[in-house]
A and B are shown apart, each in its own frame.
Chain A
Amino acid sequence: MSAVAREAFWHKITTEAKLLLIGIPVLLWTMAPIYHMMLFAFSAKDSAMSGALWPKEPTLNNFAIVFGQKHFYLHHFWLQFWNSFVIAAATGIITLFIATFAAFAISRLKVRGGAMVMNLALFTYFIPAAFLAVPMYRTMGNYGLLNTHWAMILAMVTLSSPYAIWVLKQASDKLPFELDEAATMDGASPWQLFRLVYLPLMVPSLVAVGTYALLLAWNEYLYAFLLLSRDTDITLGVALGNFLAADDSPWELLMATGLVYSLPPVVIYYVFKRYMVSGLTAGAVKS
C-alpha cells in the first residue's frame, strides 16, 4: 500500500470511528425507554422487577391477559382500542376534507378572503395546544358534546387542520397554473378541475396530511383525558393513564398494553414514511 493510500485508509477509519462515537449514544438514547417497555411487556412480573437487562424467561402471558381482557383495568381493552381507532380514522378523514377544500379554494380558486383564512389557520397552528385545552373542554360542555366521541374528533380536527391546510397550500402553489388553464379550455368546470386534475396530483401531500392527522389523534392524551370519561368511551391512551390510579399498578400489563397501543402509529408511520417526511419538512417550516 502506498503512503497516500494508507493515509486515506486511516482517515476513513477515524471518520468512521468519530461517526460511531455519535451513532452509538444516539441509538442507546433513542431506544432506552422503548426497549425498557418491551422488556417489561415480555417479562413475568417478578423478573421485570429484578432489574435484569434481558428477559430471562420471555413470556407472552402479559399479552394473553391484555387481549383476553383478564384484568380489572383491561375489562374494556378492545372497546377502548376501537374508540382510539374510530377517533383517529374520523379525524384523518374529516381533516382531509376540510383542508383539501380550503387549500384548493385559497391556492387555485383564489377565493376572496383566502389570505385572511390562511392567517386564521396559521394563528391556530401556533397556539400552544395545552393552552386551548381547558377552554375547549368548557366549550364542548356548552355544546353538549362532552363525553362523546364527537368532542374528541372535532377537537382533533381543529388542531390538525391548520397544519394540513398549510402543507396542502404550499403543495398546491407549486402545481403549474397552466394545468388549470388547459383544463378550463377543454371545458372543465371548476369542480371537475378539482376532482380530475387537482386531487390526483395532490395524492402524496394528501397521504402525508391524512397520516399526520391520524397519528395526532391516536397519540393524543390531554384532550382525550379531558373530553372523555366513561370507561366505555375513553381511548386506550386514557385507559393507560388510569392504570396509575392504583398503588400497586400492574406495570408489566401496563407496558404490554402500551406496546400494543404504540404499534399502530409506528406501522402507519413507516408505511407512509416516504410521504410523511417530505410533507412534514416542506410544511413545518418554510425557510
Chain B
Amino acid sequence: MSVLASAAPPDTAEGRFSLSRMTPAEKLGLMMIVPYVILFLVFVLYPVCYGLWLARNPASYAKLAADPIFLRTVINTVIFLGVGITLKMIIALFLSDFFVQDRWWIKILALIFILPWAVPSITTILSIRFMLNPEWGIINHTIFTLTGDDGPNWLNNPTLALALAMVVHIWKSLPFWTLILVAGRLAIPNDLYEAADVDGATTVQKFRFVTWPSLQTLWLTCLILSTLWSLGDFNSVYLLTGGGPADLTHVLATLGLRYLRLDQVEMSVAAVVCAMPLVIPLIYFMMKRLAK
C-alpha cells in the first residue's frame, strides 16, 4: 500500500466534499484524472448519447428492416465475423508456433511479417485492389500467361468480393494477433515441455496437453476482442469494394457511411444501434475479464 494513499483522511462525508481538507496527493490525483474524464464526457459520452438520441425514432428501425441492403449487410457481417475472424485466429495460433522457433531467419521474417500492421491500410488495400483489376491487374495477367484464359472479374462478384475483403482483413490484422499469441507462448514455462519430452510426448500431444491448456484463455480473449474490433473494420471492405457491387458487400461498419451519404443520419446511427445487443455483452465480458 502506498504511503500517499494511506495518508488520505478517513472517508467521511466531510472529507469527501471539502477541497481544503484534501491532502496534496489527493488534490494532484484529482487534477491529473480530470483531463481524461473531460475527454470521455465530451468525446465519448456525448457522441454516444447524441447517437442514441438521433436513433430514437422507431420508424427508422422499421425502415431498416424493410431495406434489403440492411438485411444483406447483417448476413455479410455475420459471415465476415464467423468465418473471417475464426480463420484469422486459428492461423494466428498456428503461426505463433512457427514464430517462437529460434532461428535467425525466422527472427528476420518476424520483422517483415509485422509490416501489414504498421503500414497505413489505404495504400496497401488500394494496391491489392489494383492487383485484382480484371484487365490490368497482375493476378489476371498471371492467370492469362499460365492458362491462356481470362481470370474472373474478382470484385464484380459479391461473394468473391466479400471473401476477398476477409482476406484483406486477415492480411492486415494477422500480425498483431500472432504477436500477442507469441508473447503468450513465450510465457509458458519451458519445464512443462521438458517434462513432456521426458514422457516421450509427440508434437501433437505437446500442443494438446501443454500449449493449448496454457493458451486457451488468452486465445478466447483475443477472439472476442478481435470480434469487437473487426465489427469496426471499415477499411477492409470500403477501400476494397466500396460496398459494391450494387451495395451487396456492405458490413455494419460501412453501412453507416452509406446512409450518411444518402443524407439519412438517423438510419446510419440506427444501423449501429441494431448491433448493440451483440456488442454490449461482448464489451461487458471484456471489461470483466481485463479489469480483474
Write out the residue numbers on chain A whose beta carbons fall within 8 Å of the beta carbon of B275: 131
Query: Contact at B126–A181, with CB atoms within 8 Å?
Result: no
CB distance A266 to B287 under 8 Å? no
Interface presence of B47 (CB below 8 A): yes
Contacts of B71 in A (CB 8 A): none
Q: How far is the CA of A137 from the CA of B50 in the complex (A)?
A: 11
A180 to B28, CA, bound (A): 15
Q: Does B154 contact A (CB under 8 A)?
A: no
| Minimum C-beta distance from B33 to chain A (A) | 4
Determine if B156 is an interface residue (Cβ-Cβ < 8 Å). Answer: no
Interface size on B, residues (CB 8 A): 102
Residues B90-145 near A (CB distance < 8 A)? 95, 98, 101, 103, 105-106, 109, 111-116, 118-128, 130-131, 136, 138, 141-142, 145
Check B109 against A102 for contact (C-beta < 8 Å). no
Q: Which one of B25, B51, B291 has the greatest number of beta carbons of chain A within 10 Å?
A: B25
Residue picked from A49, A109, A251, A280, most chain B C-beta under 10 Å: A109
Minimum C-beta distance from B189 to chain A (A): 13
Known A-B contacts A105-B29, A126-B228, A181-B3; the reply to A136 vs B43 at CB < 8 A is yes
With both chains docked as a complex, state the minimum distance between the C-beta of A214 and any C-beta of chain B, in angstroms: 12
A250-270 residues with Cβ-Cβ distance < 8 A to B are: 251, 254-255, 258-259, 261-262, 265-266, 269-270
Q: Given A121, A134, A270, which contacts B257 in the complex, CB threshold below 8 Å? A: A134
Digit string of B10-39 for contact with A (CB within 8 Å is 1, else 0)? 000000100000001110111111011101
Of A32, A226, A254, which is within 8 A of B126 by CB?
A: A254
Q: Residue A194 contacts which of B28, B122, B127 (CB distance < 8 angstroms)?
A: B28
Partner of A49, one of B40, B113, B136: B136
Assess the A29–B171 pair: CB atoms within 8 A.
Answer: yes
Complexed CA–CA distance, A185 and B4 (Å): 11
How big is chain A's contact interface, by range? Answer: 35 or more
The smallest C-beta distance from B202 to any residue of chain A, in angstroms, reads: 14
Assembled-state Cα–Cα distance A182/B225 (Å): 40
A128 CB–B CB distance under 8 Å: yes
Determine, out of A61-69, A71-79, A237-245, the stretch whose residues face the partner at the interface: A237-245
Neighbour of A122 across the interface among B106, B233, B234, B287, CB < 8 A: B287
Instruction: Tell me, in angstroms, the Cα distance from A221 to B237 when the chains sit together.
Output: 13
B35 touching A109, Cβ below 8 Å: no
**Which residues of the partner chain B approach A155 to less than 8 Å between Cβ atoms?**
43
Asked whether any CB of chain B lies closer than 8 Å to the CB of A215, the reply is yes
Best-surrounded residue of B2, B101, B233, B269 (most CB of chain A within 10 A): B2
**Main SS of the interface on chain A?**
helix
Q: Which of B59-67, B180-188, B192-200 contacts A (4 or more CB under 8 A)?
A: B180-188
Complex alpha-carbon distance, A132 and B120, angstroms = 20
| B222 / chain A contacts, CB cutoff of 8 Å | 285
Known contacts A110-B2, A142-B50: A266-B231 contact under CB 8 Å: no
- CB of A27 within 8 A of CB of B112, answer yes
Contact of B36 among A126, A165, A244, A284 (CB under 8 A): A165
Measured between beta carbons, the chain A residues less than 8 angstroms from B282 are: 126
Pairwise interchain contact B35-A98, C-beta atoms closer than 8 A: yes
Given contacts A110-B29, A126-B283, A190-B28, contact A133 B256 (CB under 8 A): yes
Contact assessment for A221 and B121 in the assembled complex, using a CB-CB cutoff below 8 Å = yes
A42 within 8 A of B: no
Point out the residue from A26, A32, A127, A237 that lies within 8 Å of B109, measured CB to CB: A26
Taking CB atoms, residues of chain B closer than 8 Å to A121 are: 36, 40
Contact A124 B40 (CB under 8 A): yes
The reply to whether B35 and A135 form a contact with Cβ atoms under 8 Å apart is no
For residue B279, which residues in chain A have a CB less than 8 angstroms away from its CB? 127-128, 131
Q: Are B32 and A105 in contact (CB under 8 A)?
A: yes
B40 contact set on A, CB distance < 8 A: 117, 120-121, 124
| A51-B141, A110-B4, A131-B272 known; A119 vs B291 contact (CB < 8 Å) | yes
Instruction: Give the Cβ gap from A118 to chain B, nearest Cβ, in Å.
Output: 7
A9→B127 CA distance, assembly (Å): 43
Say yes or no: is A3 at the interface (Cβ < 8 Å to chain B): no
- Kindly state whether residue B262 has any CB partner on chain A within 8 Å: no
Interface centre among B131, B142, B282 (most CB of A within 10 A): B131
A-B contact list, 27 entries, CB within 8 Å? A22-B95, A23-B98, A27-B112, A30-B113, A33-B125, A37-B123, A106-B33, A109-B26, A113-B33, A117-B37, A127-B228, A128-B232, A130-B253, A138-B265, A139-B47, A180-B2, A184-B3, A185-B3, A190-B29, A237-B120, A237-B122, A258-B124, A266-B118, A281-B183, A282-B183, A285-B222, A285-B290
Additional pairs, 5, CB under 8 Å, beyond known A36-B128, A124-B40, A221-B235? A30-B171, A51-B145, A114-B29, A121-B36, A138-B47
Residues in chain A within 8 A of chain B (CB atoms): 19, 22-23, 26-27, 29-34, 36-37, 40, 49-51, 53, 97-99, 101-102, 104-106, 108-115, 117-124, 126-139, 142, 154-155, 157-158, 161, 165-166, 177, 180-181, 184-185, 189-191, 193-194, 215, 218-219, 221-222, 226, 237, 240-241, 244, 251, 254-255, 258-259, 261-262, 265-266, 269-270, 273, 277, 280-282, 284-287
